[in-house]
Amino acid sequence: MVGILALQGDFAAHRHALSERGVATREVRKPKDLAGLAGLVLPGGESTTMLKLLAEFGLDAPVKESVAQGMPVLATCAGVILLAREVQNPPQPSLGLLDAAVVRNAYGRQLASTVATLEVAAPDELPFPTLEGVFIRAPKLVQLGSGVKVLAKRGQDPVLVRQQNILAATFHPELSPKHPVLDLFLQLVRRGQ
């Protein structure tokens, strides 16, 4: 069972993408919804809203604990902002689980949102020359720690990274048909990490 944080954002799109792959999912709105999960998705949406609701409903500490203990996590867009070590533009609190800083809305407003072609930087994990990336008011990852492996880039920007059990995409694989990043996440889930 894979949990999808469903406080706000495109949790329905994630649910749809996983159920297409035959994976059972559960919406996570309360701490008790985290029990027994094999993996967790932190979806896209508005990070400011999610951050408030995580604290409001007592989910911040349990989510942090689950991820720190090794639960496989797929974070997309706003989800990456929640996990980052530091948030810029403007600064805001975060869970501090991914050793990277993240710049919000780094490409600009909605008019800068686009479907881009990504170059795979780690063919051992993603055996494809290129990937599609749907970017919506996307953030940028900067100042990556040494334990953070870059899996894909958009130009010079790292847009898909992995740090042990954390898979973080600044784009939205859940909005592309049959995106390999979701399969990579499910591999982590099956391996238990």
Residue 111 binds to other proteins (criterion: CB under 8 A):
yes
Torsion, Cα 14 54 65 190, to 10 degrees, reads -10
CB atoms within 10 A of CB 168: 28
Residue 78 binds to other proteins (criterion: CB under 8 A):
yes
Query: Among 14, 125, 132, 174, which one carries the catalytic annotation?
Result: 174
20 token code pair? 């297409």
Give the N- to C-terminal CA distance of the chain in Å, as an integer: 14
Q: Are 131 and 101 in contact (CB under 8 A)?
A: no
Residue 186 phi, psi (nearest 5): -65, -30
Choices 62-70, 113-121, 145-153, 182-190 (CB under 8 A): range interacting with other proteins: 113-121
Residue 114 binds to other proteins (criterion: CB under 8 A):
yes
Contact residue for other proteins among 13, 121, 122, 142 (CB under 8 A): 13
Please tell me the count of residues contacting other proteins according to CB under 8 A: 38
Q: 81 to 110, contacts with other proteins by CB under 8 A?
A: 89-90, 104-105, 108-110
Provide the minimum distance between the beta carbon of 34 and other proteins in the complex, in angstroms, as a whole number.
Answer: 16
Residues with Cβ within 8 Å of 28's Cβ and at least 6 positions away in sequence, in order, are: 3, 4, 5, 6, 34, 37, 40, 59
In one-letter notation, the amino acid at residue 109 is R
- The yes-or-no answer on residue 119 being catalytic is no
Provide the minimum distance between the beta carbon of 7 and other proteins in the complex, in angstroms, as a whole number.
Answer: 5
Per-position x/- string for 49-68, each x denoting binding to other proteins as judged by CB under 8 A, each - no binding: x--xx--xx-----------
- The yes-or-no answer on residue 14 being catalytic is no
**Cα maximum dimension of the chain:** 43
Binding site for other proteins (CB under 8 A): 6-13, 29-30, 44-46, 48-49, 52-53, 56-57, 77-78, 89-90, 104-105, 108-111, 113-115, 134-137, 172, 175
Residues noted as catalytic? 77, 172, 174
